Amino acid sequence: MAAAATSNFAPCQSHVRHSAGSKSSRAVFVSKNSGFGGTVCSQGQLPSYQGLWSTRSKDLGQLRRHAEANFKKILRKGHPHGRQGPKGLVIVCGSGMNLVFVSAEVAPWSKTGGLGDVLGGLPPALAARGHRVMTVSPRYDQYKDSWDTDVLIDVKVGDKIECVRFFHSYKRGVDRVFIDHPLFLEKVWGKTAGKIYGPQTGVDYKDNQLRFSLLCQAAIEAPRVLNLSSNEYFNGPYGEDVVFVANDWHTALLPCYLKSIYKPAGSFTNSKVAYCIHNIAYQGRFAFSDFSLLNLPEQFKGSFDFIDGYDKPVKGRKINWMKAGILESDRVFTVSPYYAKELLSSADKGVELDPIIRKVGITGIVNGMDVQEWDPSTDKYLDVNYDATTVLEAKSHLKEALQAEVGLSVDPDVPVIGFIGRLEEQKGSDILMEAVSQFADENVQLIVLGTGKKYLEKQIEEIEEKYPDKFRGVAKFNVPLAHMITAGADFMIIPSRFEPCGLIQLHAMRYGTVPIVASTGGLMDTVKEGITGFQMGDFNVHCEEVDPADVAAIAKTVRRATKVYDTPAFATMIQNCMDQDFSWKGPARLWEIALLSLQVAGSEAGEEGDEIAPSAKENVATP
C-alpha cells in the first residue's frame, strides 16, 4: 500500500527548519503515539499552516482520538483507503503508490506548452485511481491559491547555501507544491508563460543550471519534510518510499543527487526515478567546465560528457543534462509510442541522443487532455454548445461567428482551416506560410493564432496583406479565440517538423474539427488517415530551412481535404473524431502499470475512481 508507515519518517538532515524563527533544534523525530503519521519538532510543535495540523504536544491525545474516529468512519464507508498501524498507530493512507512529479512547469500555474498540460492533467488522473500524488515545481509568481507552509530547508547551489521555502495547494486530489526562492520569483515580470526559461523566447537565463539544481534538491526533500493533511485518506509526509517522475532536462539532476548524496547516506533507499522526455530538442547542453556548479562527484562526469557538432552554447565538449537524466534514472518514458520509435531511429530524430536511448530503452505513452476545459457541450466561449448528435448544425453557426470575429467574409459553405500554436520552426508555421500561395486558388479560408518569434509573427502579417480575403493572422495569446477556432473551423492543420505528442489535434477531434497533420510523433498515434483526419507525410526536421517537398505536401493535402469537405464521408470523419475518449483515464492506467514495474516497496495497483475531495475547506485556497 502507499501507506505512510512509521519507518518512512527517518530523521531529517540537520539543515531542515520547520518553522520560521523557531528557537528549537532543527532535528525532528517521529512521535509514535501521536495518532497519525506526522513529524513533530523537538519542541512539540508540528510544522503547519492552513490545512496542516498545528498543535502542541498536550493536544496529541485529542489528535489521536480524532484520527481513530476518522479511521473507523473510513472503514464504515467500506473505502479501500486506510489501515491500522503498529502499536495502535492509525495510518490514513491510500491503496496505490506515493508519486512525486517534478517539473519546471505545471498548468495552470505555469505553462509554455505541452509539458505544463501533462503536469496539470496526469497527476489528478492517477490520484483518482487511489494513488497519493504530489507535483513539485517552481513558484514563479505570487500564486493566490497556494499557502506558505513555513517549512524551510537549506540546499547547496553552486558555491552558496540557499534557503528554500515551500508553498502548497491541494487541487483535484493532488498536492501541488511550489518551491519559493528569488531565483524563480524575481526572474519573472509581467506574464509568466513566456519568461520561465528566459527574458524572451529563444533567450535563456544565464543561471538556469543553478535554478534547476535548486528545484531538484528541494523536490527530493519535499516528500519527507512536508506534513500534509489534504484529505481524509492521506495524512502526514509521503516518506521516502516514493516514485519520482522527473520531466525533461530541467529535472535531470534529481536521479544524480539521489544516487550521490541520499542513497549512500541511507535515505530514499527504496525510491525510484522515472524520467520522461517531453521534447528532446531541449537537452540542457552547457559548457563542460560548468560541471563543477552541480556539486556532483567526479564519477558522474561521464554521464554528462557530450560532444556535438554545434557551436552553441559553446563549441566542442559540453555537459548534457538530459543525457545524464536518461542514464541515471531507473526507467525512461516519452509522450507517445511513435515518438519513442523516432527517438531510437536516427541522430536527426533523436537529436544525437539516439545511441543513449537505444542503450537504456524507452516507453511511449500517449498523453490525454483536459476534457473539462475542452468540452463542446459546456464550453463557455461558444455561442452554441453541442455534442456528437448536434455537431453539424452547431458548427455551421459557430463558423459564421468565427468568420465575423476575425473579419473574414461570412460564408458557411467555405471550408475554414485553423492553425493554433507557437510561431516557431518546430511547429512548422514557416512551412505553412510558404504553402499558402500554392492553395490560395482553392475556395478556402485560413486562420492562424499564435505568438512566438518576431520574424514569424511578421510573416503572418505579410501573408494577411497579400491574401486579405482568405487569410487572418492573430499574433496574440487569446484563449476565447482559440476555443472559437477549435469549434468553428472545419479543419485544424498541424504542420510540425516534429511533435512528441501534441494536444491541438486532440482538442480539434473532441470538437469535431478534422485534423490535417504531419506524419510524426503523437500525430501518427492519434490521427488515422481517412478515418479521423489527413496525414501529410514526414517533414524535414531541420529547422534552418524550409523544404520545398514539405511545402508541396501541405498544399496537396489541403486540396485533398477540401475535396472531401461537405460530403457524407466528411460527416463520418467528424463523428469518428468525436466518438473517441481523449481523457487522461486511459493514459493513467498505462502509467500506473509502468510505474508499478519499478517495484517500490508498498506499491499497489489502484482502481478507477473519482478525484479525492479535500477533508476541510481550509485545505484549499480560494482563487
Q: What is the pLDDT of residues 290-305, one digit of tens each?
A: 999 999 999 999 999 9
Q: What backbone phi and psi angles, to 5 degrees, belong to 352?
A: 70, 5
Q: Residue 108: is the preceding peptide bond cis (ω within 30°)? A: yes
Comparing 32-46, 302-316, 554-568, the range with the smallest average pLDDT is 32-46
Higher pLDDT, 236 or 199: 236
Asked whether residue 31 carries a pLDDT value surpassing 50, the answer given is no
Locate 313 and state its grid cell.
552554447
Question: Which pLDDT score is estimated for 127?
Answer: 95
Query: How far, in Å, CA of 71 to CA of 52, rounded?
Result: 18
Binned at pLDDT 50, 70 and 90, residue 10 comes out as very low
Question: Which pLDDT score is estimated for 146?
Answer: 93
Question: Which pLDDT score is estimated for 477?
Answer: 84
Question: Which pLDDT score is estimated for 60?
Answer: 37
Question: Which pLDDT score is estimated for 194?
Answer: 61
For the segment 323-336, the average pLDDT, to the nearest whole number, is 98
pLDDT tens-digit map of 384-399: 999 999 999 999 999 9
pLDDT tens-digit map of 132-167: 999 999 999 889 899 999 999 999 999 999 999 999
Question: Which pLDDT score is estimated for 405?
Answer: 98
pLDDT tens-digit map of 178-187: 999 999 986 6
Locate 133 and state its grid cell.
500524488
Burial class (CB in 10 A: 0-12, 13-18, 19+), 257: buried
Locate 456 and state its grid cell.
514569424
Question: Which pLDDT score is estimated for 19?
Answer: 33
- Residue listed under C-alpha cell 516557431: 424
Tell me which residue of 470, 502, 440 sits closest to 448, measured CA to CA: 470
For the segment 516-536, the average pLDDT, to the nearest whole number, is 98
Binned at pLDDT 50, 70 and 90, residue 81 comes out as very low
For the segment 40-49, the average pLDDT, to the nearest whole number, is 32
For the segment 361-371, the average pLDDT, to the nearest whole number, is 96
Residue 62 burial (CB count, 10 A): 11
Asked whether residue 61 carries a pLDDT value surpassing 60, the answer given is no
For the segment 412-419, the average pLDDT, to the nearest whole number, is 97
For the segment 306-325, the average pLDDT, to the nearest whole number, is 88
Which of 16-25, 39-48, 190-199, 408-417: highest mean pLDDT? Answer: 408-417
Name all domains of the chain by residue range, CATH numbers in brackets. 98-368+585-597 (3.40.50.2000), 372-580 (3.40.50.2000)
To the question of pTM greater than 0.85 for the whole model, the response is no
Mean pLDDT of the chain: 85
CB 436 within 8 A of CB 469: no
Query: How far, in Å, CA of 244 to CA of 183, rounded?
Result: 23
For the segment 419-448, the average pLDDT, to the nearest whole number, is 96
CA 528 to each of CA 394, 534, 585: distance values in angstroms, whole numbers, following the listed order = 24, 7, 21
Q: Using only the alpha carbons of the chain, give its radius of gyration.
A: 26
